Amino acid sequence: MIRIGFLAFGAMALGSAASAQTEAIDLARAEGMVGERFDGYMGFALEPSAVVRSQVATLNIRRRTLYSRFATSRGVSPQEVGITAGCQLLARIGVGQSYMLADGQWQRRGPAQPAPVPEYCR
């Protein structure tokens, strides 16, 4: 995993991405319908409503734009930036929320489980 000066990126990208979230996304996240993926994007653990699907698509477009801009300025790939962002996003997964690691399987964080931070994030 390439560390790409994530402190500056984290504040910028995650702050901007978080501000794009809506009440519908927050509710879908709390219900385990949508969740964070290892690659820095949000995905669907369960079939969401058309409204939630559209709002998640908009959020992911904003994230992709941020990742691409940051990647260009740092001389790395947008995928590397997304995976680095994914490490930060996974560290914030709350109890009962869904997430996807690199194995492609959706899981939900249980009450006694630590945040799902992959080894490559440490």
pLDDT single digits (tens) 45-80: 999 999 999 999 999 999 999 999 999 999 999 999
Using the CB atoms, write b or e for 10-32: b if 16+ within 10 Å. Answer: eeebbeebeeeeeebbeebbeeb
Question: Which of 84, 36, 41 has the alpha carbon at shortest distance from 63?
Answer: 41
Which pLDDT belongs to residue 77? Answer: 95
Other C-beta atoms lying within 10 Å of the C-beta of residue 102: 12
* The model's pTM: 0.84
The model's pLDDT over 13-37, given as tens digits with 9 standing for 90+, comes to 555 554 457 899 999 999 999 999 9
